[in-house]
Amino acid sequence: MELKIPNYAFAIREVEVIFNFGGYSVEQVECMEWVAKGLIKPDIHVADFKSLPQYLDDLTNGKLTGRIVFKPNES
């Protein structure tokens, strides 16, 4: 199974595609379908890049669950 995204989708608006390289492609597509249907909700936290030291400390101490996504700080 393939995930096809037309190039014009990237040109007309900001599009972000995030992948996990574990498991088989069919399983990854099935998981994306479950998320799209609302059957599962990923545990994702978005944080400013300036908070990276705190999150690294939390990771070291086993305080984090799910995934952390760091967004660049505004200039």
- Residue 35 is predicted with a pLDDT of 92
Q: How far apart are CA 68 and CA 30, in angstroms?
A: 22
At 21, the pLDDT band (50, 70, 90 cuts) reads low
Mean pLDDT of 44-52: 89
Residue type, 50: K
43 has a pLDDT exceeding 80: yes
Pick from 42, 70, 43: which is nearest to 55 by CA?
70
9 has a pLDDT exceeding 70: no
70 has a pLDDT exceeding 70: yes
